[in-house]
Structure 1
Amino acid sequence: MYRIMIVEDDEKIGALLQDYIGRYGFETHVASRFRDLAAEFEDVRPHLLLLDINLPYFDGYYWCRQIRLRSNVPIIFLSARSGEMDQVMAIENGGDDYVAKPIPLDLLMAKIKSALRRAYGEYAGGQAQPGTDTVAAGSLALDIGRSELSWRGTRVPLSKNERQLAHALLRQAGRIVSREELLEALWDDVQFVDDNTLTVNVTRLRRKLEELGLKEAIDTVRGQGYRLQADPAEDGGSAVAHE
């Protein structure tokens, strides 16, 4: 079950959002510690954050920057400010999306689902281990919340695209994942995406795996897609056809 943390100081709006989002089967938490939202975030460990801009003590931009030092979870800003510059500032401070008040609830839910799908793979089909934000294949594990890959005690940080790509491959470790599936995991609309962009991201993920000591963990299956070995080993596995 995905956890949604709602940072909204208007109690009525917070309760409305909690009730509406809860109807879709999500676990929700309405923030209350506005002096130290970063600590509350660490305690809750949400999969997605809804963040108002106008807050007591510090604004949403400040807290977004603080949370980005800890996590790459999707952050959707909610605000009565509807100006273009406010939306620009939200993105520049680490936000992923922006919804202006009054909040159109159907649109907000569509954005929540889209953000979760991009961050964690298919919307209802993740294979994270129960009670954690981790997906694993053998000793190779992805900590989704921290955006880190680990193998035998060694960790490497991942960019947003690297994390999403790793998650898509780990969820189907040992199986061929088509290029189309991987493009959809990275971008909502693949129609205008250059196919070479996927190749570049796969190359970057391979480099991160090499930093862990896994030099041949991802196979390129010509004409079909990519396959992450089900139990990556230090000496690699089958021969790899790199692009």
Structure 2
Amino acid sequence: MIDAPNDIYLDWIRDALKQPGKTQVGLAAHLGIAHPQITQLLKGKRKLKVHEIPKIAAYLEVDPPGSELSPSTAKWVQARKAGVVAAGLFREVDEFDQSEPEEISVPRDENFPNARQLTFEVEGDSMNELRPRPILPGDTIVATAYEDIADRVVLRDGMVVVVQRSRDGGQMREWSVKQIEIYEDRTEFHPRSSNPKHKPIIVQRQFDADDGASVEVIAVVRMVLNTMPGY
């Protein structure tokens, strides 16, 4: 968190949000946090975090005040715990969650050092036969936010990603891990499982799923973590 006078940065954000097309809702989405947290920040009820400054500057398209808060070159960075990935399980989206996101330290993605890192807890056996290394129930996956790298990374065969599937006007959401297969007229997101109940998500060129749900890639899996029991 920032120990320097917060008002300097809050004034910077307030002024930049007056630009056409720049909104608190858009800024919250860019940071991957709930909109009420931006309201709390601008009221001085929430501390601005150092690692948020480059992302805020990128959204606002305005350089932050001062240069002492340049992006860290540390080997470890903070990653937000995004939630649970579980194939076939739709959960209601809580748009009014104002809780502070929990974070853990993870190795920096050296290929994309300024992109957000997210972690997801794995439930179920939908990727228990992924090769060369399966993703098992209880694993934690570390992933790079695809929104931050989409202009540099093209989805390709074999890539393992976190897929968001939404329905009911966005009120219900499923997050799952899948492996990409790309064809001329469609993209398929496949489970790699010994359990036959898990089926691929097939998306035509318009990126609408074959079951009418909307689909998007939200993160690219970069690492799998697990803690041995008994420690």
Instruction: Give the TM interval when normalised to the shorter protein.
Output: 0.3 to 0.5
When you count strand as a share of all residues, which structure comes out higher?
2
Using structure 2 for the length normalisation, give the TM-score: 0.32
When you count helix as a share of all residues, which structure comes out higher?
1
Q: Which has the higher contact order (CA 8 A, sep 6+)?
A: 2
